């Protein structure tokens, strides 16, 4: 068994065996992930678009959840870093898969995300993945399937909430595309292209997609996410050289500006409606 990875801010510890991923945490957090993972397994089976690692063991009292380990999983983040030719195809598949999750994921209880109601009106709300990033979506060559893992709300949100604006999952995924793994990757890291491909495929499966609602939530979450990333970076920076630390700060600031410009571009988009009068009304509302 590999050493556990622990973080008090995530309320969980991860352990990796040869064929098992074991999560330990507070019973309430683990219970929520267990319920959501089971619901996601049903959506994966019915849609055929993606897969979810099957649960092998759950201990409610001890707060332990075990699932199969997909040993040959290559995450979308790893694909992007390696310049994998299949990245665009898998980004599109991720967009279609998330649309299926939002359309069909159901749980018995609703725990609403801690966001102002203005940012998640009722008509935009659905059950969520909660931590949908390029690190939690990947391709298995042996299974020939896209896998979506870690069905637990992001630590920045306190691991709480399974229900809220569908744009939360979309903002979360695209925001992390504007985080590069290294200074050298910056010059070939096409965040905008990856985000556009992902969002376009989601919108193809959800015709009411509103780029302005997406951008509004993105701008609202941006300060908190930037602060979270800076805190994570500071913890890692303790073991970095001075040159690496300076390069990381420069790249982070440059990518933050690219993300801001991307959100502005989304906010300025107008989707042509089916009826001409609706299209004119959209133009007036910008």
Q: What is the crossing angle of helices 191-205 and 242-267, to 10°?
A: 40
> Partners of 242 in the beta sheet?
none
The values of phi and psi at residue 51, to 5°, are -130, 160
pLDDT of residue 36: 97
pLDDT tens digits for range 111-154? 999 898 889 999 999 999 999 999 999 999 999 999 999 999 99
d(CA 33, CA 13) in angstroms, rounded, equals 13
Q: What percentage of the chain carries pLDDT values higher than 90? A: 68
CB 126 within 8 A of CB 168: no
Mean pLDDT across 87-115: 96
pLDDT at 18 over 90: no
pLDDT tens digits for range 197-248? 999 999 999 999 999 999 999 999 999 998 887 887 777 777 778 887 888 7
Instruction: Look up tokens 């310049």; give the residue.
Output: 83
| Residue 150, number of CB atoms within 10 A of its CB | 22
Instruction: List the domain range (segments joined by +) for residue 50.
Output: 5-285
The values of phi and psi at residue 13, to 5°, are -125, 135
pLDDT of residue 107: 95
Q: Nearest CA to 119 among 224, 260, 214, 225?
A: 214
Q: What is the mean pLDDT of the chain?
A: 88
The values of phi and psi at residue 118, to 5°, are -60, -30
pLDDT of residue 272: 47
pLDDT of residue 213: 95
User: Dmax over Cα atoms in the chain, in whole Å?
Assistant: 63
Mean pLDDT across 184-200: 89
> Partners of 23 in the beta sheet?
14, 65
Q: What is the DSSP string of the chain?
A: -PPPEEETTTTEEEEE-SSEEEEEE-HHHHHHHHHHHHHHHHHHHHH-S-B-PPEEEEETTTTEEEEE--TTEEEHHHHHHHT-TTHHHHHHHHHHHHHHHHHH---SS--B-SS-GGGS-GGGEEE--S---TTSEEEETTTTEEEE---S--GGGTT--SEEEHHHHHHHHHHHTT--SSTGGGGG--HHHHHHHHHHHHHHH-TT--HHHHHHHHHHHHHHHHHHHHHHHHHHHTTS-HHHHHHHHHHHHHHHHHHHHHHHHHHT--PPPSSHHHHHHHHHH-
Number of structural domains in the chain: 1
> Partners of 147 in the beta sheet?
51, 138
Q: Which residue has the higher pLDDT, 125 or 159?
A: 125
Q: What is the DSSP string of 66-77?
A: EEE--TTEEEHH
CB 132 within 8 A of CB 152: no
d(CA 231, CA 251) in angstroms, rounded, equals 16
pLDDT of residue 70: 96
């Amino acid at each position: 068994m590999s050493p556990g990875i622990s973080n008090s801010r995530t309320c969980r510890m991860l352990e990796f065996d040869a064929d098992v991923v074991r999560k330990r945490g507070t019973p309430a957090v683990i219970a929520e992930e267990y319920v959501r993972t089971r619901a996601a397994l049903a959506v994966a089976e019915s849609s055929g678009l993606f897969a979810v690692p099957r649960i092998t063991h759950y201990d409610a009292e001890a707060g332990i959840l075990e699932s199969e380990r997909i040993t040959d999983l290559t995450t979308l983040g790893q694909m992007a870093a390696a310049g994998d030719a299949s990245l665009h195809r898998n980004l599109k598949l991720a967009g279609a898969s998330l649309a299926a999750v939002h359309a069909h994921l159901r749980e018995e209880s609703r725990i609403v995300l801690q966001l102002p109601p203005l940012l998640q009106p009722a008509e935009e709300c659905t059950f969520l993945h909660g931590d949908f990033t390029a690190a939690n979506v990947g391709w298995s060559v042996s299974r020939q399937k896209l896998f979506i893992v870690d069905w637990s709300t992001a630590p920045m949100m306190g691991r709480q909430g399974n229900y809220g604006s569908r744009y939360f999952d979309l903002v979360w995924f695209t925001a992390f595309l504007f985080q590069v793994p290294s200074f050298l990757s910056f010059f070939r890291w096409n965040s905008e292209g990856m985000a556009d491909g992902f969002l376009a495929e989601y919108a193809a499966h959800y015709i009411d997609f509103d780029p302005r609602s997406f951008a509004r939530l993105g701008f609202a979450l941006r300060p908190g996410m930037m602060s979270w990333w800076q805190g994570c970076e500071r913890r890692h920076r303790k073991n970095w050289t001075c040159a690496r630390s300076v390069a990381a700060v420069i790249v982070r600031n440059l990518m933050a500006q690219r993300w801001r410009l991307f959100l502005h571009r989304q906010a300025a988009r107008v989707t042509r409606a089916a009826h001409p009068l609706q299209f004119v009304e959209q133009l007036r509302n910008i």
